[in-house]
Amino acid sequence: MSTDWKSYKPILLPNIKNLHQIEVYEKNGGYESLKEVIENKDDKWAKDKVTNEVKSAGLRGRGGAGFNTGLKWSFMPKPDGGPRYIAANGDESEPGTFKDRQIFEYNPHLFIEGAIIAAYAMTVSAVYVYIRGEYRSWIQKLQKAIDEAYKKGYLGKNILGSGIDIDMYLHSGAGAYICGEESSLMESLEGKRGYPRIKPPFPAQKGIWGRPTTINNIETLSNVPYIIKNGADWYSSIGAEKHPGPVLYGISGHVNRPGVYEYPTGMPVMTLINEVAGGVSNGKKVKAIVPGGSSTPILRADQLEGLTMDAESLREAGSMMGTAGLCVLDEDTDIIDFLWRITHFYHHESCGQCTPCREGTGWLEKLLLKIKNGDGEVRDLDILLDLCTQMEGRTICALADAAAWPVRYTITRFRDEFEARCKKTIYATA
Amino acid sequence: MDIAFDKTDLEEIEKIKAKYPTNQSAVMPVLWYAQEKFGHVDEDVQQIVAEALELPEAHVYGVVSFYTQYYNKKMGKYVLDVCTCFSCQITGGYDILEYLEDKLGIKAGETTEDGMFSIQSVECLGACGYAPMLQVSNDIYVNHLTKEKVDKLIDSLREDKMPEFESIPLPQHQNEEN
């Protein structure tokens, strides 16, 4: 990636005053992609052509897993006349992630337009937008935008005179990290405790209320109008080759100018820290980063040279892109304290369905607390690593893995600091 | 207060039910509605929610006990949820929590004797770039907290003035303008 990021103009969060108002959004080309699709629904933008365009654009989900969006859409079975759904995932509960709320606040119609196009492409008649309950202020903002879109005929019966009906409903969560997991989100929409489902069946076969469902992240859907407007080739030329497009980087922790920034994928991590976010606070040095939310493996400062924010580069370095919520830790950060707090989070958020996760997250927290308090022994570190092995891949959903990875990688990458905090016992040399 | 839904409430509940293909799916929004009205969703409230939606009370209890934002007991008039997770932890979230505990003379999880304030230490609220922060009564976020800002907040809440929504400009936009 060259230095042309400086001339990059944001498209998801452009600098346009009052863009959240539908008139302003329309004046700036808003809903043109939807109109274009609807006008050409019998030829150029037939449903499968929309899906193929999104697929070949290479758009990958922005919620954490990074799966090809168009490919996901193509998993929906042929319509059988019954209801089909999109669940738009605005649960945004992964610690370090605060990007989708910027879309609700600054550009809600972009998301709505993208969701309507997605609904058209998959023959969906109702979009349920699941937003974490804590985001009450942003739920109100999005509801206002949805109401505007209904009034203008973009949503509801016979949208834009096309004969197509698409509704959009907001569903507020009520405080549960696990509801960002797609099958848990569907359970929650059905009015239940958010227990993840065993897969298969996958949501496209059997989703909400037993019907075909696709779950997409808010930011992901917000990319769709631009793919329609400018084409897949244009889109795939932005940013990293295998993980293209603009992305919202949520930078937090010890930096001078934290916040959400939109740049192409593949931004060098050190550029994001030093130039975009104004460098480490108080002139200190970077000790480590967590690149994409609390579950993505931590990286030491010496692992950051040449590292870019895209799936491939981060995987090579031993981490993941996640939600691109980049948290920066300065040289004074107590890494043991930091890890203990992460284990506390996952213990609190485990739904309790699977034993390895329910018990495992508790033991991770207990052992880390013991080490944090200076009562740990070196063998506890190996017990922790063993515990991670017993959790990873042994549960219904990925929460156990998400809890285990930070422990595994923080201990292996900062082993000296952990050992220094442990009591010296005969086990230290065993 | 009598724990019952009046005619207007029942009409609202019908509107909520119309958004979903099943009654059960309306349980979360109806619980939110009930909590707004009664201030909590204790077992008495859970019972009327169950009746309104024709669901077993045990199901409603199961939902209430799963999600942290539903209050299964009476809370303070203002619930202060201090984020101490991840980015907030490393930027002083616990200092803010301790300051608030000392100031109000209660610990996280407790309510002041006058019933004005409850404090909770909570998980990530999705305001990582504006840390440390807290949320007032499941509603407004108060960002970039300092002790002075906490003092001001408590003073205004004592006068029943809720803080207003704070729109934080995107730093990228500010950079462009400079």
Q: Which residues pair with A267 in a beta bridge?
A: A309
CB pairs under 8 A between A and B: 163
Mean pLDDT, residues A108-137: 98
Name the percent of chain A lying above pLDDT 90.
96
B32/A261 Cβ within 8 A: no
C-beta of residue A273 within 8 angstroms of C-beta of residue A328: yes
Which chain B residues have a beta carbon less than 8 Å from that of A177? 123-124
- The reply to whether B32 and B99 lie within a common domain is no
**Which domain, by its residues, includes A96?**
4-235
User: Of A211, A235, A259, which closes a domain?
Assistant: A235
Q: So what's the pLDDT on residue A279?
A: 98
Q: How many domains does chain B have?
A: 2
C-beta of residue A28 within 8 angstroms of C-beta of residue A9: no
Span A196-209, pLDDT tens digits: 999 999 999 999 99
Q: How many domains does chain A have?
A: 3
Span A359-393, pLDDT tens digits: 999 999 999 999 999 999 999 999 999 999 999 99
Span B4-22, pLDDT tens digits: 999 999 999 999 999 999 9
Nearest CA-CA distance, residue B35 and chain A, Å: 11
**CB-nearest partner of B22 from A134, A174, A190:** A190
List all residues 6 or more positions away from A101 whose beta carbon is below 8 Å from its beta carbon: A90, A92, A135, A138, B126
3-state helix, strand, coil in chain B (%, to 5): 50, 10, 40
- The reply to whether A135 and A216 lie within a common domain is yes
Mean pLDDT, residues B151-168: 97
**CB-nearest partner of B171 from A188, A254, A261:** A261
- The reply to whether A121 and A170 lie within a common domain is yes
Residue B133 within a domain: yes
Span A67-98, pLDDT tens digits: 999 999 999 999 999 999 999 999 999 999 99
Neighbours of A315 (CB within 10 A): 12
Mean pLDDT, residues A289-318: 96
Nearest to A142 by CA among A113, A112, A97: A112
- The reply to whether A76 and A207 lie within a common domain is yes
- The reply to whether B51 and B104 lie within a common domain is no
Span A397-424, pLDDT tens digits: 999 999 999 999 999 999 999 999 998 7
- The reply to whether B84 and B119 lie within a common domain is yes
- Phi-psi category of A324—alpha, beta or left, where left has phi over 0 and alpha has psi -120 to 50? left
- A291 interfaces chain B, CB cutoff of 8 Å: no
CATH number where B82 lies: 3.40.30.10
Mean pLDDT, residues A95-103: 98
Nearest CA-CA distance, residue B24 and chain A, Å: 5
Span B72-114, pLDDT tens digits: 999 999 999 999 999 999 999 999 999 999 999 999 999 999 9
A349/B28 Cβ within 8 A: no
Nearest CA-CA distance, residue B25 and chain A, Å: 4
Residue B40 within a domain: yes
A337/B69 Cβ within 8 A: no
Which chain A residues have a beta carbon less than 8 Å from that of B26? 191
Which chain A residues have a beta carbon less than 8 Å from that of B127? 98
Residue B176 within a domain: no
- The reply to whether B95 and B60 lie within a common domain is no
- The reply to whether A171 and A279 lie within a common domain is no
Grade residue A430 by pLDDT with cuts at 50, 70 and 90.
very low
CATH number where B33 lies: 1.10.10
- B109 interfaces chain A, CB cutoff of 8 Å: no
Nearest CA-CA distance, residue B46 and chain A, Å: 14
Span B39-69, pLDDT tens digits: 999 999 999 999 999 999 999 999 999 999 9
Residue B122 within a domain: yes
Which chain B residues have a beta carbon less than 8 Å from that of A169? 19-20
Q: So what's the pLDDT on residue A64?
A: 87
Residue B169's Cα: distance from chain center in Å? 24
Q: So what's the pLDDT on residue A296?
A: 97
Cα–Cα dist A185/A194, whole Å: 7
- B82 interfaces chain A, CB cutoff of 8 Å: no
CA atoms within 13 Å, Cβ hemisphere of B73: 6
**CB-nearest partner of A93 from B63, B84, B124:** B124
Q: Which residues pair with A326 in a beta bridge?
A: A251
- A279 interfaces chain B, CB cutoff of 8 Å: no
pLDDT at B133 over 60: yes
A192/B131 Cβ within 8 A: no
Cα–Cα dist A200/A75, whole Å: 13
Nearest CA-CA distance, residue B113 and chain A, Å: 26
- The reply to whether B91 and B29 lie within a common domain is no
Cα–Cα dist A214/A202, whole Å: 9
- A96 interfaces chain B, CB cutoff of 8 Å: yes
pLDDT at A429 over 60: no
Q: So what's the pLDDT on residue A20?
A: 98
Name the percent of chain A lying above pLDDT 70.
98
Neighbours of B73 (CB within 10 A): 9
Mean pLDDT for chain A overall:
96
**CB-nearest partner of A98 from B59, B63, B129:** B129
Which chain B residues have a beta carbon less than 8 Å from that of A83? 21
- The reply to whether B26 and B61 lie within a common domain is yes
Residue B150 within a domain: yes
**Which domain, by its residues, includes B85?**
78-158
DSSP sequence for A150-176: HHTTSSBTTGGGSS--BEEEEEE--S-
Mean pLDDT for chain B overall:
96
List all residues 6 or more positions away from A26 whose beta carbon is below 8 Å from its beta carbon: none
pLDDT at A149 over 90: yes
- The reply to whether A290 and A345 lie within a common domain is no
**CB-nearest partner of B85 from A169, A259, A345:** A345
- The reply to whether A320 and A353 lie within a common domain is no
- The reply to whether B54 and B102 lie within a common domain is no
Q: So what's the pLDDT on residue A4?
A: 81
A-interface mutation test, from B124, B130, B173, most A Cβ less than 10 A away: B124
- The reply to whether A242 and A117 lie within a common domain is no
Residue B106's Cα: distance from chain center in Å? 18
By residue count, chain B amounts to: 178
Q: So what's the pLDDT on residue A426?
A: 55
Of all residues in chain A, the one with the smallest CA distance to B84 is: A341
